A and B are shown apart, each in its own frame.
Chain A
Amino acid sequence: MFYREAGDYKTSYTDDGQTFPIKFDRYRYYFVLFVAFALIPFMLNDYWVNAIFMPFLIYSIAAIGLNILVGYCGQVSLGTGGFMAVGAYACYKFMTGIDIWLGGVQYALPPINIFLSVILAGGVTAIVGVLFGLPSLRIKGFYLAVATLAAQFFLVWLFNKWEWAYNYSASGQINAPERFVFGVPVTGPNTEAWATYLFCLVFVTIVAVLARNLTRGASGRKWMAIRDMDIAAEIIGVNPLKAKLTAFAVSSFFIGIAGALFFSVYLGAVEVGEAFGINKSFLVLFMVIIGGLGSIFGSFAGAAFLVLLPVLLKNVLVGGLGWPTDLAAHLEFLIVGALIIAFLIAEPHGLAQLWRVAKEKLRLWPFPH
């Protein structure tokens, strides 16, 4: 009854172009923000944070990043894992301090604040993403996917071999030292659930708002024009190389942030092949596809679906039905896989489309004609 724009008049283009034009949506958005920032931190324990909230938040960032590239700009990428690795290792270098040799002289950069480290790591990843995005001018579709696969394997190989990247540690792992934000530890062994949660939540909120602003404005239209019909985009004056490369840059920036958080705040210690392998690329791509291509909300929905579903299944199978853990773990894969297929057949445009249809119905409810 109250979910409609009737009577909710817009008198300026600013109002008309806002993210949530319907009042109810707007309040719901503020409500979600309020709950996420003010209520959840007080109700958390370690299990909830580590099993659900942290992976959900971090994968949401990665999915938003990939969605900009795949969903908005139409450039398929399988290099997400590799780009997350760049973010993780760059963050590691920034937070532990970097030694650089220039002309035979060693310069030592002091360790940088963790918040800045994460953002700078995103910046480094953006540069790497642009480099691997260069072939996108010439190759399209599946062929581009294969080209980005090269990025995935190359980057993982690089961080295995390049000792400088992991500070010559004997194990080849990188370990996040303890770092503080406003005196509260957010990385290292002594973190508290609410601190790490809030740290990631701040990034998620910023990333989502930035992504939304970019996709609703001129850049977003350029990307979507390239996605829908690149020839027509060029004829109206869109430089295809520039548009594609900015998409790669922005996408990689967000994915780099996700990688940095994944390593420093969530896992704490990372071995590159294990944490950022090809599996990660596919996982994030599935999130984007299941959530809905070309939708910020879809990125959240997809991340939630693929993070929550296994946890839920485990709780039902092991906790509810009392099955042995190993059997449940194997069946979990089967069920998740089957659900993904069933879901994609039922709604190929993803959870975001379901959400859109539901809203469409709600607007007319209870008089659908």
Chain B
Amino acid sequence: MNDMSADGYVTEDGRKIGGTLMEMKNITLRFGGVKAITDISFDIREGEIRAIIGPNGAGKSSMLNVISGFYVPQEGEVWYKGARRPQMKPYEVAQQGIARTFQNIALFEGMTVLDNVMTGRLNKMKTGLLSQAIWKGKAEREEVENREKVEKIIDFLEIQAIRKTPVARLPYGLKKRVELARALAAEPSILLLDEPMAGMNVEEKEDMSRFILDVNDEFGTTICLIEHDMGVVMDLSDRVVVMDYGKKIGDGTPDEVRSNQAVIDAYLGVSHD
């Protein structure tokens, strides 16, 4: 077993895990009378792959939406990079270095793959409207610089061949990959993946798992993912949070979670005798 000290440790496969990057403290989220999330706390460490699992309706996606600023929790605090995050709009959260993908793909259907991935870099492009209109000079330079970065990601995710294809024409599995590319293009500190493997066949899942591991390995990106496929989750993640009915019922390494009685009950059901 690893020694999970506060300032970090090295995993069995040699990746460095740092200190706490983000911490959720006693988050409670209500929609009217419905409690979607009840008093949940957990942390995400720098460089780790953190999974959130749970049965349907457990509040996993709501949790991700709290992190990315879509939902504002009624109670609790979000701490990011050692400071309490004030209430902010989703685009401000994005500008702080948190990128995400969606459960139902949210690509820009009218644009090409390249343009979609380039939108991931909009935060890094600071040229004013006037220089953009003139194009030659500053705007063109910036465009080329960002294009180079984007091409690296396109290379990395092996989508070179569909670079100029309109997204609407792509099959489901590729769209998922393009969405990952768009999120990666922003060079995020934390990458949130909402069911990156939903609806994929085994090979596509293998591809996607490999990409997720590679991203973590190559760029050192911290990843927080929601996934239903237990095999995938247990293989990929360093630590797992388990939710059920909006409450946290387990938190720890895959092995710890697997042997946690509350988790087994939630997934397999409890006999009422």
Contacts and interface: CB of A to CB of B under 8 A. Distances in A.
Contact of B109 (A14, A228, A237, A246): A228
A2 interface: no
Interface stretch (B41-49, B87-95, B243-251, B253-261): B87-95
Contacts of B161: none
A227 interface: yes
Interface residues of B, number: 40
Given A17-B143, A236-B99, A236-B120, A214 B133 contact: yes
Consensus secondary structure, chain A interface? helix
B122 A235 contact: no
A317 B267 CA distance: 78
B64 to A, nearest CB: 11
A213 B133 contact: yes
B108 A217 contact: no
A217 B143 CA distance: 7
A278 interface: no
B182 A213 contact: no
B144 A236 contact: no
Contacts of B125: 217-218
Interface stretch (B4-12, B111-119, B196-204): B111-119
B106 interface: yes
Contacts, number: 106
**A: contact size bracket:** 20 to 34
Contact of A225 (B90, B119, B127): B119
Given A213-B135, A235-B106, A237-B91, A13 B129 contact: no
A224 B108 contact: yes
Nearest to B141: A14
Interface string A218-257: 1101101101110111111111100000100010000000
Nearest to B120: A236
A235 B144 contact: no
Given A13-B144, A14-B144, A237-B186, A217 B139 contact: yes
Contacts of A236: 91, 94, 99, 119-120, 122-123, 182-183, 186
A210 interface: yes
A350 to B, nearest CB: 14
B100 A221 contact: no
A234 B133 CA distance: 23
Looking at A214, A236, A246, the one whose CB has the most chain B CB atoms below 10 A away is: A236
B68 interface: yes
B102 interface: yes
A294 interface: yes
Interface in B77-112: 89-91, 94-95, 99-100, 102, 106-111
Interface string B32-47: 0000000000000000
Nearest to A224: B111
Contacts of B182: 236
Count chain A CB atoms within 10 A of each CB in B106, B119, B186 and give the residue with the most.
B119
Interface in A203-218: 210, 213-214, 217-218
B100 A235 contact: yes
A352 to B, nearest CB: 13
B205 interface: no
A238 B91 contact: yes
Contact of A219 (B109, B132, B140): B132
B270 interface: no
A221 B122 contact: yes
B72 to A, nearest CB: 14
Contact of A217 (B91, B94, B111, B132): B132
Interface in B121-149: 122-123, 125, 127, 129, 132-135, 139-140, 142-144, 147-148
Interface in A254-282: none
Contacts of A214: 129, 132-133
A134 to B, nearest CB: 17
Contacts of A235: 68, 70, 90-91, 94, 100, 102, 106
B1 to A, nearest CB: 37
Nearest to B126: A218
Contacts of B95: 237
22 contacts: A12-B144, A13-B143, A214-B129, A218-B132, A218-B142, A219-B132, A221-B118, A224-B111, A227-B108, A229-B107, A235-B90, A235-B91, A235-B106, A236-B119, A236-B120, A236-B123, A236-B182, A236-B183, A237-B91, A237-B122, A240-B91, A250-B129
Given A218-B139, A228-B107, 7 more contacts: A210-B133, A213-B135, A214-B133, A217-B139, A222-B119, A236-B91, A238-B119
Interface of B: 68, 70, 89-91, 94-95, 99-100, 102, 106-111, 115, 118-120, 122-123, 125, 127, 129, 132-135, 139-140, 142-144, 147-148, 151, 182-183, 186
Interface of A: 12-14, 17, 210, 213-214, 217-219, 221-222, 224-225, 227-229, 231-240, 246, 250, 294
